[in-house]
Amino acid sequence: MSSDLDIAIAKWSPAQQSALRDLRTLIHQIANGLEGAPAVAETLKWGQPSFSVKAGSPVRIDGLKGTETGYAVYFICTTGLVGTFRELYPQTFRFEGNRAILLDTEQPFDRAALGHCLALALTYRIRRKS
């Protein structure tokens, strides 16, 4: 992980740091499983670790302020991705408006469902063209 991402993640509680690192790994695993295994570019956007591939919409991750256990996966709100996730997984995740899936370190999440959401984000541009 780049030092910028390490610094951004290090500001959170140990539980949040572990969860954010796990999300980073999951994002890379999902991208590696996609057709053509696109390279994932890691950057900071608005101080949050951001992951993008050419065929997709960027995904950001961050801890939630005011909590030792909350964290989130953020998506570009104008894509409609979170609305799609809400339709597919209404009882599986908590959502913040049209921009985020909210998670908590004290409650395990459905990896297959989140992996599906991440795959939809990482293939967003390709799917829109077809």
Which tens digit of pLDDT belongs to each residue from 76-123? Answer: 999 999 999 999 999 999 999 999 999 999 999 999 999 999 999 999
Which amino acid does the sequence have at 71? Y
Which amino acid does the sequence have at 100? A
102 and 75 in contact (C-beta within 8 Å)?
no
pTM to 2 decimal places:
0.93
Q: Measured between alpha carbons, how far is 31 from 53 in angstroms, rounded to an integer? A: 8
Q: What is the pLDDT of residues 29-78, one digit of tens each?
A: 999 998 887 889 999 999 999 999 988 999 999 999 999 999 999 999 99
- Indicate the fold that domain 3-107 takes in CATH: Aspartate Aminotransferase, domain 1 (3.90.1150)
